Structure 1
Amino acid sequence: MKSFRKLLYTVLAIIAFVFLSIYGYLLYSKPDYEGEVAMHNISGETSVYFDTYGVPHIYAANQKDAMEALGYVHAQDRLWQMELLRRIAPGRLSEIFGTRALKNDKFFIGLGIDENSEKAISELDKNGEPYKMAMAYLDGINQYLEEGKTPVEFSLLGIKKEKFTLKDVFNTYGYMAFSFAMAQKTDPLMTDIRNQFGDEYLKDLGIDYSHNPTRLKISRGEEQQYLEISKSITALLENSPVPPFIGSNSWVISPKKTKTGKVLFCNDPHIEYSQPGTWYEAHISCPDYEMYGYYLSGTPFPLLAHNRKYAYGLTMFENDDADLFQEENNPNNPNQYKTAAGFATYTSRTKTIRVKDSTAVVLTVKETGHGPIINDLIADFKTKQPVAFSWIYTQQPNKILNAVYGLSHAKSIPEFQKSVSYIVAPGLNIMYGDAQNNVAWFTSGKLYKLQKGVNANLILNGSNGVDDQKEFLPYSKNPATINPAWNYVYSSNNMPENIDGYNYPGYYLPEDRARRISNLLDAKNDWDKESVSKMMTDNTSPVVTEIVKVLMANTESGKLNAQEKEALSVLKSWNGSHDITGVAPTIYNKWIYFYLKNTFQDEMGEVSFRQFLKTHIMKQSIAFQTQNESSVWWDNITTKSKKETRKDILTQSLKEAVASLNTQLGSDVSSWTWNRVHKLEFKHPLGSVALLKPFFNVGIFDIAGTNEVINNTMFEYSDEKEYVVKAGPSTRRIVDFSDIENSWSILPSGQSGNPMSEHYSDQAEMYVAGKFRKMMLNKEEIVKTGTKLVFIPKK
């Protein structure tokens, strides 16, 4: 017995020792928010004050010293995220995650972002300020890499530290640009529908842009052979350890519509949720420069920012900057492909992918004049004919570093707009407001026209010499507005007015948010910070109530039971709001899912239908297809003895929705509140491991909002018990030029990416509740309330 006790105590002591050792290591790995650090390559003492939420306020004698310090503090909070971001575009995730990341690596290697980055760097002015400041930032990261603490993720995965280079910066921007592109998610699916069922089936999907009434103002056939393109690429982005960009809102109100007579600037970019979140906030102050900015991990200049003179932010333009081309091999020579001028020879490049705990994979990428052949880069691709991916980002000169530097260093509106013009891809709406009472909206992207009759929403013919003809437009044709007569500018990923009579191709989102934003702004002329903060968390759609009227008017009430009628009565008095206590949102969204399933899945098939649910076209089609009584989609092609009508499908869908909710939530309709089904969890890449989930993930939270309201908390329609919110505002910002030192912001979870930091999740509850915190600019206030980390020159 004594021996057993002794053994038990020994085991317990060992467990306690291991636990304490791990906990001690984790405590040691916390970021340092105060103290003194000696650094190479700074000219004098640089002070960094961390405010209540961990935002660094960097005070330096010059911009180079500030950038050195920025790189260091950014790395101590986000080194793990930096490591992930720099590995995606060059195809290096398999080195740390093994074979499960191999599909991702093959595809991104095929895109050629890494080669484009090399070329862009070779053309940079090495004496220019963008280059010098970027190198100072990278030096700061690398000094932390050499002398700072190792993130726990590096230890768990056995990651060997490597110095960061300028190519890592360009590759990060390249991944961001690709995550904006939409053609690969949509064009293959639309092509399959056209090939199987004919053009009639495309009309209700709005790819002729007839479903875009609220626009931004300016002063039967073949088998499904292309589906795997859209399905596989969508899955790659969804399963990426770094979230893709999805959409956004922004509006800038001119002084004539504000209570204070000064500009109000608002922006909330929509990005897939992750832990840590996308943005790192930092405030730099030097004698010749000041900027409070939001940075992607591993990049030196902010994409969203403001100072005392001007503010800027972005949303997705949603323009079409990528095309897919069906190529045709030479029947007598597989190394050649057909062009309008005859047969041309494929070029190729080879790369070796190192795979953790497995053998290396050698990948050869074939290319045509249009771009890389993606057949071998995508699993289960059915068609034997080669398909090429043509993308403006890798085909045009890459000046992204100069562009982003210029946005954050502009001295005038023309200078700012010139920097916007450097961005050939992705297409962005760049929103602007300043202390001189100017408001503006600019678009980035190298725009082009295709030949008349060529449909950019379909896979194009690579050999006829017509489909690939592009007429590039001068930047002066890009949509823009400065100080419009209606006294505001806005963007919610909706379509702009045509360009010289030409509807510019794109993958625009439906009008729901655009209508709501413009209606709210038109109706009020005394906006202030408090009222726009409520607008930023608005959960009401002006479109869903119109859809509900159509759905209810075309439901056969005589076929409904008491519970189904009760559900309809809830919807009848609904104002379209998606607050957490509402019952109508739960009924409506389940009804919409079954309507979509019963309308489209019989033609598309289960796999294509799931892909359809991930597209903007699905969102666009709901309001218009439901109004079309004669739509070809209503008939269920699997029931040969009957031709279904709109009333048949909508009635059946309501009955299935109510039955599903009854099973999931119980028989009491009044208890079917939105908070029971609409949930948000901030997920870390290692949180998929059950043992690590409680340590790395943040949440689960009940959250308001829905798809395509201003508070755009997005999920996929399904019959699951809960809607997992995948994306939403990556930050909410309000810059008030009447009180610039009291402008507001919020991050979804926290500033730090270190799980042991007090700033890992300290904003999560505020964010979910729709609250804000101050973006501090006043040095006296910052010094009084912050902790101080001092960088001194190393001797």
Structure 2
Amino acid sequence: MALIFRWLMRLTGGMIAVAVLTMLGIYFLASRSLPDYDKTLQVSGLSAPLEIVRDNANVPHILGASDADVFFGLGYAHAQDRLWQMVTLRRTVQGRLSEVFGTRTVEIDTVMRRLDLYPLAQAAVRHQDARTQVALKAYADGVNARLDEINQNALGRGAPEMFLFNMPIAPWQPADSIAMVKLMALRLTGQIDTEVLRARTSLLLPAERLLDILPDAPGAGIAALPRYADLFDATLPRFTASTPLPEHPLSPFSRAGFSGASNAWAAATSRSAAGGTLLASDPHMGFTAPGSWYLARLQLQQGGVIGATIPGIPAVLSGRSDVLGWGITAAYLDDQDLYVEELNPENSEEYRTPEGFKPFRSRKSILQVAEEKPVTLTLRWSDNGPVLPASFNDIGTITPKGHVATLNWTALTEEDRSITAAINVMYARTVQGAMAAGEDMVAPALNMVLVDESQIAMKTLGKMPRRQSGHQSQGRMPSPGWLEENRWQGSHSYAANPEFVNPIGGIVGNTNNKTVDRPFPLHVSFDWGDTQRIQRWTRLMQSRQVHTRDSFIETQLDTVSPAARTLLPLIGADLWFTGAAAPDGTPERQRQRALALLANWNGEMNEHMPEPLIYAAWVRALQERLIRDDLGPLADQFNQVEPLFIERVYRDVDGASIWCDVIQSAPVESCTDMARLALDDALLWIEERYGQALESLQWGEAHQAAHDHPVLGDVPLLRSFVNIRQPTSGGDQTLMRGLASGDAADPFRNIHGAGYRGVYDFEDPDSSVFITATGQSGHFLSRYYDDLGELWRRGEYIPMSLDQDLARAAAVGVTVLRPVN
């Protein structure tokens, strides 16, 4: 027995030793790719020595002898810190993820190939101006200098993920950066999903009820739309089956409500306590680890520029120079239209046009799939754009038999100078100069808020399609592509894009709210990203005669929900103080305790408070009860609470209270009945998840910001290293926005919000501040992977200074790049 015990001990010890050695080996290989920020290196492509000074937050200050050298340095810095992110995004836009990740990403690649974004980006290079072409070439050279260094010095393949996935890296090209802009445009638009959802819902509901569940932003209404089925021949009532695309962390496609959002606002000198213009900007996108944004300072020949960049794009997209500041929000401009094309019954390679049947433009494309046979695709284009698969965004559910769906989108052009616009904004010295530079922007559609030393402005950037006044669906639903009145007639002039320059009130801004109320077809959009945050923002801006940098920070971090303040008095009107006393432990007593808490709550979505969780669970359960019997399985698509819908129901706008009656039941349920039942549903859900002690609940426990690694985030053990989770305040309708996932398993997980925040003060520019949601590095073994995340969660910032001495004073490293002679 003793001998057996000794051998078991030896075997166990050996296994432990092997495990430890394996872990040490993995750590050694992974750590080889950690960047060394304090070094001197000779590289090809520079005209003179270049310095990259990393301040104590690891923000690179890039100091070169020429602008081309500075863009080279930005490319090198991006590749040092975010190489895996850059090459993965490039594969996404190329439709080549499946070469690495296998069958899981075939559907994503299929759609990306059909959109043809990468070939369009390649063709767009020659359309850029001379300055931009120089910047693109220099930036690509900088990325490739880092790739050469990795290859020559065996630096762990550049990122630890490279050891887990076989991903050969081709040299970076100027077209790759243009493709990154097109990919950003795809992530910031949700018009496809909105059109499909509106069409599907219109097949189930009458027009007045459609306006309830998919309400227009407040303002003048629109002409009545036809029912979607009425757009097509009555003999073709059936629609093709559809298998929705599985959601994948690498997918760039946005669901309705999950496309771009943001806040940006500015104050003129007359509304500034210190006498200088002020600007706040916090663009919102889906959370990932590492985050989408990367902080950088570029010392151009005309002066410094500092702010937020996206790895792969050689431009500061939201930031400031010494004389100009700019911030961006998603404009929600309707720059996409879906069309239904009728196929020739005699030849499926032809589609109907106003002039008769016409062949598709088509070509073959071979999709390589790791460890599987290649997939051959036939890519087809009509006059209205590429043919999309029926599985994409449930398009098949609204496509009649014998038809296919196509997409017209402003970004589907090679004459796309959007990156030229972004670079030239950095060079602008005045508000007017930046607005002029924005004319080249095609997509994404953005609202750019601007300040110089004495002026403020906001201008909508991006091409606005020219639709005909007789368009059958006004671009709100897919329409027959063979009718001339539904087809685009080019685009409107840049002058037609909304602009606001030096308004009398001295304040300008946007929270994705409706910006103009113009009749179709100059309407800009029917679907906007916000109807709630704008209410709180307006109140905070008008509550002070003058503002400061700190008041702008307070507004950026505000967590009061105007939706909660509006809805609670409506849905709880007949529940407060009306019930009889109930014994402890009963549902009635629990309901009374919840209502007592909510009665004294001011709507602040604070992470440490129980009331936000009770409120959020209540309105979520209430919307589910109101719509499930009317919409059936389609109700799953409405997993975000729409405050305007609930408000319409409880104010009985145009008879909307009919939603409270359950169709299948004999009794007529009242809206008070629905509110009571929904509250009981919510409390039961809370009890199953968090227990019965309502006073001990914390919103932040449910509302955790999920900065997950898009590839390794679901891998056991590894996910604890690569995912960044933080309890957060805010909610769907607060200025410090944290959009909940709506998923049944984890409905309040915070997955979309301000990955970057910046506040710029032009009375004292170097007192400006900024922050990102994770860290500068994409290497999960780096201390800079998540070091900014805790500051971001607490509402803190780091200095946004162009002072070189300040950057050097606490530098974590200085990289000197010297040209090879």
CA-based RMSD of the aligned residues comes to 2.6
* 1:626-665 correspondence to structure 2 within 5 Å: 626-628=650-652, 630-631=655-656, 634=659, 638-665=663-690
Q: Does 1:724 align with 2:722?
A: no
Indicate if the aligned counterparts of 1:283 and 1:293 stay in contact, CA closer than 8 A.
yes
1:435-490 superposed Cα distances (whole Å, 9 cap, x missing partner): x2211101012223442463322121222322225473221111111111110110
One-letter code aligned to 1:653: A
One-letter code aligned to 2:144: N
Distance 1:265 1:170 in 2: 28
Aligned-residue offset at 1:242: 11
2:605 aligned residue: 578
SS at match of 1:549: helix
Distance 1:581 1:13 in 2: 44
CA distance 1:767–1:15, change in 2 (3 Å): same
CA distance 1:305–1:226, change in 2 (3 Å): farther
The answer for unaligned runs of 5 or more in structure 2 is 222-226, 230-236, 581-586
2:425 aligned residue: 407
SS at match of 1:451: coil
Q: Does 1:39 align with 2:39?
A: no
Distance 1:622 1:379 in 2: 26
Indicate if the aligned counterparts of 1:47 and 1:790 stay in contact, CA closer than 8 A.
yes
Q: Does 1:389 align with 2:407?
A: yes
* 1:138-153 correspondence to structure 2 within 5 Å: 138-148=140-150, 149=155, 150-153=158-161
Tell me which of 800, 806, 817 is aligned to 1:775.
800
CA distance 1:633–1:469, change in 2 (3 Å): farther
Aligned-residue offset at 1:240: 4.9
Q: Which moved more, 1:549-558 or 1:190-199?
A: 549-558
Indicate if the aligned counterparts of 1:179 and 1:237 stay in contact, CA closer than 8 A.
no
Distance 2:525 2:795 in 1: 35
1:175 aligned residue: 183
Indicate if the aligned counterparts of 1:90 and 1:114 stay in contact, CA closer than 8 A.
yes
Aligned-residue offset at 1:619: 5.1
Indicate if the aligned counterparts of 1:283 and 1:292 stay in contact, CA closer than 8 A.
yes
Q: Which moved more, 1:720-729 or 1:490-499?
A: 720-729
Tell me which of 576, 595, 618 is aligned to 1:591.
618
* 1:468-507 correspondence to structure 2 within 5 Å: 468-470=487-489, 472-499=491-518, 502-507=522-527
Q: Does 1:537 align with 2:557?
A: yes
Q: Which moved more, 1:457-466 or 1:511-520?
A: 457-466
Indicate if the aligned counterparts of 1:84 and 1:241 stay in contact, CA closer than 8 A.
no
Tell me which of 645, 654, 673 is aligned to 1:621.
645
1:123 aligned residue: 127
Distance 1:321 1:437 in 2: 33
* 1:284-683 correspondence to structure 2 within 5 Å: 284-376=298-390, 378=392, 381-382=396-397, 383=399, 384=401, 385-395=403-413, 397-434=415-452, 436-447=453-464, 448-452=466-470, 454-470=473-489, 472-499=491-518, 502-555=522-575, 557-558=578-579, 561-606=588-633, 608-613=634-639, 618=642, 620-628=644-652, 630-631=655-656, 634=659, 638-683=663-708
2:288 aligned residue: 274
CA distance 1:212–1:597, change in 2 (3 Å): farther
1:325-347 superposed Cα distances (whole Å, 9 cap, x missing partner): 12222233322222222222222
CA distance 1:190–1:752, change in 2 (3 Å): same
Distance 2:622 2:277 in 1: 44
Indicate if the aligned counterparts of 1:339 and 1:464 stay in contact, CA closer than 8 A.
yes
Distance 2:652 2:116 in 1: 44
One-letter code aligned to 2:161: E
1:16-46 superposed Cα distances (whole Å, 9 cap, x missing partner): 3333222222332211110111111212221
SS at match of 1:298: coil
Distance 2:795 2:613 in 1: 21
1:62 aligned residue: 66
SS at match of 2:562: coil
One-letter code aligned to 1:586: L
1:638-666 superposed Cα distances (whole Å, 9 cap, x missing partner): 51523433233222212211222233222
SS at match of 1:32: coil
* 1:199-210 correspondence to structure 2 within 5 Å: 199-210=207-218
2:717 aligned residue: 691
Aligned-residue offset at 1:48: 1.5
CA distance 1:238–1:638, change in 2 (3 Å): farther
The answer for unaligned runs of 5 or more in structure 1 is 214-219
Distance 1:221 1:135 in 2: 48
Indicate if the aligned counterparts of 2:439 and 2:494 stay in contact, CA closer than 8 A.
yes
One-letter code aligned to 1:681: A
CA distance 1:170–1:565, change in 2 (3 Å): same
1:161-215 superposed Cα distances (whole Å, 9 cap, x missing partner): 21111221121111111112222111112112212223132121355544789xx
CA distance 1:438–1:174, change in 2 (3 Å): same
CA distance 1:643–1:465, change in 2 (3 Å): farther
Distance 1:350 1:588 in 2: 53
Q: Which moved more, 1:670-679 or 1:572-581?
A: 670-679
One-letter code aligned to 1:167: A
Distance 1:363 1:426 in 2: 28
Indicate if the aligned counterparts of 1:634 and 1:649 stay in contact, CA closer than 8 A.
no
CA distance 1:203–1:226, change in 2 (3 Å): farther
1:304-330 superposed Cα distances (whole Å, 9 cap, x missing partner): 121111111200001111011122222
CA distance 1:241–1:60, change in 2 (3 Å): farther
State, as a whole percentage, how many aligned pairs show the same letter.
Answer: 25
Q: Does 1:19 align with 2:23?
A: yes
Indicate if the aligned counterparts of 1:540 and 1:575 stay in contact, CA closer than 8 A.
yes
SS at match of 1:266: strand
Q: Which moved more, 1:200-209 or 1:656-665?
A: 200-209
2:279 aligned residue: 265
1:366-408 superposed Cα distances (whole Å, 9 cap, x missing partner): 2221111213563973543211111111147311121111111
CA distance 1:43–1:505, change in 2 (3 Å): closer
CA distance 1:445–1:44, change in 2 (3 Å): closer
Indicate if the aligned counterparts of 2:228 and 2:477 stay in contact, CA closer than 8 A.
no
CA distance 1:221–1:479, change in 2 (3 Å): closer
One-letter code aligned to 1:445: G
One-letter code aligned to 2:460: T
Indicate if the aligned counterparts of 1:509 and 1:620 stay in contact, CA closer than 8 A.
no
Aligned-residue offset at 1:119: 2.3
CA distance 1:513–1:720, change in 2 (3 Å): same
Indicate if the aligned counterparts of 1:283 and 1:290 stay in contact, CA closer than 8 A.
yes
* 1:22-101 correspondence to structure 2 within 5 Å: 22-101=26-105
CA distance 1:12–1:721, change in 2 (3 Å): closer
CA distance 1:186–1:167, change in 2 (3 Å): same
1:217 aligned residue: none
Distance 1:59 1:598 in 2: 59
CA distance 1:102–1:437, change in 2 (3 Å): same
One-letter code aligned to 2:703: H
SS at match of 2:785: coil
SS at match of 1:746: strand
SS at match of 2:692: coil
Distance 2:351 2:630 in 1: 33
Aligned-residue offset at 1:759: 0.8
Indicate if the aligned counterparts of 2:770 and 2:800 stay in contact, CA closer than 8 A.
yes
